[in-house]
Amino acid sequence: MDSKRILITGLSTYWGGRLAQALERFGEVEAVIGVAADEPQVELERTEYVKVGAQHALLRRVVEAAEIDTVVDSRLVVDSVTTTPAKAHENNVIGTMNILAACGGPDSPVRKVVFKSSTHYYGAQQDDPAFFDETMSRPHPPRTPVERDIVEAEASLAEFAQANPDVTVTVLRFANVLGSGVRTSHIELLSLPVVPTILGFDPRYQFVHEDDVVHALEHAVKHNLPGVYNVAADGVLALSEVAGLLGKPCVPLLPPWGTGLAAAALRPLGAPIPPEMLAQLRFGRGVDNRRYKQAGFRYQYTSRETVLKLAEHLRLDPVVRGAREPYRYEREVEEFLRWSPHVRRAGAPGGGLSRRQLAELQRLLAGYRETAGIEAESSDGAQLAEAEQRAREAEEHAREAEARAREAEASARDAAARAARAEQRAEQTAEALRATQADDRRE
């Protein structure tokens, strides 16, 4: 893994938090730094949080000071129900621009940029192919604000990749995400007692599980994968199939004509149907996920299994909701835990090494191995064998020495025993002498 010092933007988002949790578990990763305008939502062990939005001057300083080699941008808003269109645009287009500005340039330490995008890039239209692959673009320009943002953000990524040919730029386009942790408008839609559909349409849907999303981002950090990749689980389901798996009826609540108006009327009643979802409810979308599989990624769930997982969550949710207290970020506590010398870090007290120390040790070892490897490479096979022989000899010597030490120890113990015995004897004689002397005096 080349990525050792990683910057995650959007640490406060669900994906930023999950990815940080995953990456800090890797020993090879030296530093995980998360930036976001808001505080993190999940508990993190060694990820450092810096409260920075998308101001590129500040980000640039963070990147340079921490010698960041990999930037993962997880902050794209792909669901227009989560925020206002203006804020989403600010975040998606302007934010991406600023982050890329902070990563680019000849003197930047950044070698890799991983960007989380969405298959909304392709839109959903009547004349779409059944499976979009990464080389295809949408047949018509985007009409909804979120789709426009995504297309624009990806355009700036492409521009960045062109301007910085020595930086690996990975763009991952994720299909609709389902899972128990994340909130999306599609999960909300499928949580309703019935699944609303457009009369006369049964669109094709492809999903991806939230764990697969995190693993996919991780995979892009671990490997060198320039280019664009679709990330969507195997299997394209019809919406009626999805409803069947969830055990809910499909109800055509939306008319085929005037759908937008009807959706707007349903919105206050609790049916969260944003404009980019309407196109999907009508035409559906499938993507070709083979390229990322070819790059070595393996999915844990198929689309069907993802929906079944969601069904489990939806059944369990009313029971466990609110049972666990949500995590709250407290800066002082986090800083104490990270930096105080009094904190006993992971492992046994005393002899145990902290995670940080372990990482350092691993790094040193890797460095040592590397230098050793270079030596081995420069010498030929005979020398290598010789070195090995020498090592074996040294080992033998050590073993001999150990044995000798053991012998010496034993003899020392013997000597000590002998000395003790001599002393005892001397004492006895002395006593005997004293006794005879006393006898003599009495006589």
Partner 1 sequence: MISTREAEPAGQALVPGDDMRRHLPGVEPERRLTDWGRSERVEGFLDRTAGDFLYHYWFRTEVEGIENVPSTGGALLVSNHAGALPPDAPMIAKAIREEHPHPRPVNITVEHFFKGYPGFSMLIPRIGCVPAHPANVQRLLYDEEQLVLVFPEGRKGTEKLYKDRYRLRRFGRGGFVQAAMRARAPIVPVCVVGAEEAAPSFAQLRLMKRLTGLLYFPLTPTFPHFGLLGMLGFLPAKFKIRFLEPIPFDKEGLEHDKALVQTVANDVRARIQENLWDMLAKRKSIWFG
Helix (H/G/I), strand (E/B), else coil: 93: helix
- In the structure, how many helices (H) and strands (E) does the chain have? 15, 13
Residue closer to partner 1 by CB (options 29, 228) is: 228
What are the structure tokens assigned to 9, written together? 């933007």
Residue 286 touches partner 1, criterion: CB under 8 A: yes
Q: Identify any residues that bridge with 117 across adjacent strands, giving them in sequence order.
A: 173
**Is residue 49 within 8 Å of residue 329, measured between CB atoms?**
yes
Stretch that binds partner 1, among 50-58, 97-105, 194-202, 377-385 (CB under 8 A): 194-202
- Which of 131, 156, 188, 358 touches partner 1 (CB under 8 A)? 131
Name 112's Cβ contacts closer than 8 Å, sequence gap at least 6. Answer: 2, 3, 69, 70, 71, 167, 168, 169, 170, 221, 224
What's the closest the beta carbon of residue 342 comes to partner 1, in angstroms? 53
What is the rounded CA–CA span in Å between residue 54 and residue 71?
Answer: 13
Element (H, E) at 270: none
> How near is the Cβ of 283 to partner 1 at its closest, in Å?
6
Q: Reduce the DSSP state of residue 48 to 3 states and report it.
A: strand
- The string of DSSP letters for 73-86 reads E------TTSS-HH
H/E element holding 176?
strand 176-178
Q: Which is nearer to partner 1, 204 or 309 (CB)?
A: 204
Find out whether 204 and 238 touch, Cβ atoms under 8 Å: yes
Under rule CB under 8 A, how many of the chain's residues touch partner 1?
A: 35
From CA 354, how far away is CA 429, in angstroms rounded?
61
Q: Is 223 in the site for partner 1 (CB under 8 A)?
A: no
Q: What one-character DSSP code corresponds to residue 47? A: P
**Of these, 128, 147, 149, 211, which contacts partner 1 (CB under 8 A)?**
128
Q: Which residues pair with 237 in a beta bridge?
A: 205
**Which residue of 222, 293, 338, 363 would you call a contact of partner 1, by CB under 8 A?**
293
Within residues 297-356, the interface with partner 1 by CB under 8 A covers 302, 304
Our CB check for partner 1 shows the closer of 136 and 358 to be 136
Name the minimum Å distance from CB 74 to partner 1.
25
Contact (CB, 8 A) for 214 and 295: no
- Residue 126 binds partner 1, judged by CB under 8 A: yes
Q: Strands of 58-175 (E only): list them.
A: 70-73, 112-118, 168-174
Question: Which of 36, 68, 114, 236 contacts partner 1 by CB under 8 A?
Answer: 236
Could you say which of 60, 291, 307, 309 contacts partner 1 (CB under 8 A)?
A: 291
Closest separation in Å from C-beta 276 to partner 1: 17
5 near partner 1 (CB under 8 A): no
State how far the Cα of 46 lies from the Cα of 54, in Å rounded to an integer.
Answer: 22
261 binds partner 1 (CB under 8 A): no
Of 129, 226, 352, 373, the residue at the interface with partner 1 (CB under 8 A) is 129
In this chain, which stretch among 235-243, 313-321, 378-386, 432-440 interacts with partner 1, using CB under 8 A?
235-243
CA angle at residue 397 from 392 to 399, to 5 degrees? 95
Q: Is 289 in the site for partner 1 (CB under 8 A)?
A: yes
- Among 290, 338, 345, 356, contact with partner 1 (rule: CB under 8 A): 290
Q: Which two tokens stand for residue 93?
A: 């287009």
Which region among 38-46, 111-119, 124-132, 351-359 touches partner 1 (by CB under 8 A)? 124-132
Considering the complex, state which of residue 26 and residue 131 has its C-beta at the smaller distance from partner 1. 131
Secondary structure letter of residue 287 according to DSSP: B
Under the criterion CB under 8 A, does residue 282 sit at the interface with partner 1? Answer: yes
Q: How many Cβ atoms from other residues are within 10 Å of residue 57's Cβ?
A: 10
Stretch that binds partner 1, among 106-114, 120-128, 213-221, 371-379 (CB under 8 A): 120-128
Does residue 371 belong to the site contacting partner 1 (CB under 8 A)? no
User: Interface with partner 1 includes 137 (CB under 8 A)?
Assistant: yes
Minimal distance, residue 130 CB to partner 1, in Å: 5
* Residue 223 three-state SS: coil
Contact residues for partner 1, defined by CB under 8 A: 126-131, 133-137, 198-202, 204, 234-238, 241, 256, 282-283, 286, 288-291, 293-294, 302, 304
